Structure 1
Amino acid sequence: MAAASGTNDLSSEMELDAFRRLFPLRFHERHLLESIRPDGRPLGRARDTSLSLGAVASANGSALAKIGCTTMLAAIKLEVMTPTVEAPDEGCIVNICFITSNFLVLLCCSLSKLYSSGMIDLKELCLVSGKAAWMAYLDIYCLDADGALFDAALLSAVAAFSHLQIPVVSLNDDGRIVLVSEENSGSMKEKEPVNKEKIKLKMSSQPFSLTCILHKNYILADPTSEEESIMETYLTVVLDTNYQLVSLNKPGGPGLASTSSIQDCIVLARKRVKELQQILGEAISDMEVD
């Protein structure tokens, strides 16, 4: 009897898997009727999320972000530049994102708003007014794509900036900026450092995002790639840590988002921001303990 039961269970699993592959939308809609998803999540819940700071030892700031199976690696490398005439007291940030083009445009747009709104003070990247400033190259690599790519990319970028440490530098006899390392710190004692210790970049606020699928009367937070592929209308809400709206994007799908649906997505995004703040805070605390 046990063997027969096991065979029946296996047969049922195979039939369910075949139904999922042949009729994916119907498969998911059956779950929606029960207000649950195939992975067991309630409709409004995001997947398990983790952050690891300092993932790239050679970078000045880096972070590995995972939302479910979606994995993004962000790394920031600093180089000395000559500031522009228009902004002699500011450095700059260059985004290089190795993800799909649609998400690249959306991410760069949100990050540009992050800089221009004062969330990141570019004056902190100035070394010597009109002569030298830091140029921060932000690279984002998609290591695994399983939905909500933008959310994971933005999270990795924010975490990398939170981890960023501006190195100690000094002026040499030619007036050039010299990096002060442990090896040459003895020979640089007579030179006045531009900054006497490593500096953490201050962020007045941080942006986080939540992507939601809009399907019929349902809203699914943090969709998987399978959900994105069969339910085409989705919305990405970007809020800062003060719960102020940074941007609202509908990157794909032919459907229209009603005002009530948008409001419901913003409510879910506020809860998500609180979660991500806590996750980032714990990652920073773990880094400081280490």
Structure 2
Amino acid sequence: MGKDIDISTNQEHFVREALKLGIRTDGRSLLESRKPIISLSPDLYGFVEIEWGLTKLAVRISAEILQPYEDRPFEGLFTINTEISPMASPHFENGKNTDDEVLISRLIEKAIRRSNALDLESLCIVAGSKVWSIRADIHFLNFDGGLIDSACLGVMTALQHFKKPDISVNGEDIIIHSLDERQPVALSILHVPICVSFSFFNPGAVEENIKGDLNEEISIIDCTQQEELLRDGTLVITINKNRELIQISKSGGLPIDATMLMDLSSRALLIAEELTDMVKDLLKKDEQERYKKLNLKMLQAENSR
């Protein structure tokens, strides 16, 4: 983070002792994730707000026509921009690209672009000359842990919700049609990666300041800010509903044995299935509401004639 955060010895002792008893300060079980609240913009395609416990963020997808990379003439572009300002938490500094922002951008870029979740070839207009460039802007409005998980969910929801303008190609000329002229076109999403973060605590680290036995290690899911300050190791599993393991990112000194890794991957799969189905239902309802508004608008226009 941008600024050092202090946590009192009493707070640290309380949190760690509670975790030993299987208790968390917000009432969740050790392996229980927070339930996100997803809000889709009724007016703008690709604008999504996520409430992940007390963590809040907004994601905006935009598109423009640019020239592709020379070594990838048939692929469109996809970029991610993150902004964590002091508005989200006083612990972040304004105008500085923190380690958190770099880590989030890299993990989501790997999860989406490198796994081909967004079909970049479908963004090609004229090979080697014109392609769609898709940009995801992530703005964190409040911070209480879970930045990676909430950001990944927000970006994937926004990408599925977004629709780019339809175009016509006449030689070298490209005509971009307004939404009134033609229906916008959805992006080609091949699969939906979901990031699930686990954190590890060493029960013996507080009193003796030593690494405890591997069998005593405590693992929890979806840390709050307070828990993130005290954890001894992290593991981010990116997986989709198709049971495809996309990436594993581990940091911290504590080891993870194969049995625990398999168990955590199974739990991550259940969360990915639940979140994917939730987003699918929300998008379906949003589409139905838009069709109702469109039909009502057309009916009013006919009656006014």
Same fold (TM over 0.5): yes
Instruction: Tell me the alpha carbon deviations over residues 117-142 of structure 1, each in whole angstroms, 9 at most, x when there is no partner.
Output: 33221111122333321111211111
Compute the displacement of 1:205 (Å).
1.0
Higher radius of gyration, 1 or 2: 1
1:212 aligns with 2:198: yes
Instruction: Tell me the alpha carbon deviations over residues 146-168 of structure 1, each in whole angstroms, 9 at most, x when there is no partner.
Output: 11111111111111111110211
TM-score, normalization by structure 1: 0.79
Unaligned runs of 5+ in 2: 1-6, 85-97, 203-216, 290-305
Paired amino acid for 1:218: I
Distance verdict in 2 for CA 1:27–1:56, change over 3 Å: farther
Q: Pick one of 82, 86, 97 that aligns with 2:71.
A: 86
1:257 aligns with 2:256: yes
1:36 aligns with 2:23: yes
Q: 2:105, 2:73 → 1: CA distance? A: 27
Structure 2 SS opposite 1:276: helix
Structure 1 match to 2:189: 203
Structure 1 SS opposite 2:194: strand
Compute the displacement of 1:24 (Å).
1.8
Q: Do the aligned residues in 2 keep the contact of 1:210 with 1:236 (CA within 8 Å)?
A: yes
After TM superposition, the structure 1 stretch with the greater mean CA deviation from structure 2, 39-48 or 119-128, is 119-128
Structure 2 SS opposite 1:269: helix
Structure 2 match to 1:275: 274
Structure 1 SS opposite 2:175: strand
Distance verdict in 2 for CA 1:44–1:79, change over 3 Å: same
Q: 2:265, 2:190 → 1: CA distance? A: 21
Structure 2 match to 1:221: 221
Structure 1 match to 2:59: 74
Compute the displacement of 1:22 (Å).
4.6
Q: Pick one of 170, 175, 179 that aligns with 1:178.
A: 175
Q: Do the aligned residues in 2 keep the contact of 1:215 with 1:233 (CA within 8 Å)?
A: yes
Aligned residue-pair number: 256
Structure 2 SS opposite 1:139: strand
Compute the displacement of 1:55 (Å).
7.4
Structure 1 match to 2:90: none
Q: Do the aligned residues in 1 keep the contact of 2:59 with 2:155 (CA within 8 Å)?
A: yes
Structure 1 match to 2:132: 134
Compute the displacement of 1:103 (Å).
4.5
Instruction: Tell me the alpha carbon deviations over residues 92-116 of structure 1, each in whole angstroms, 9 at most, x when there is no partner.
Output: 1122112442452343244235223
Q: 2:32, 2:108 → 1: CA distance? A: 23
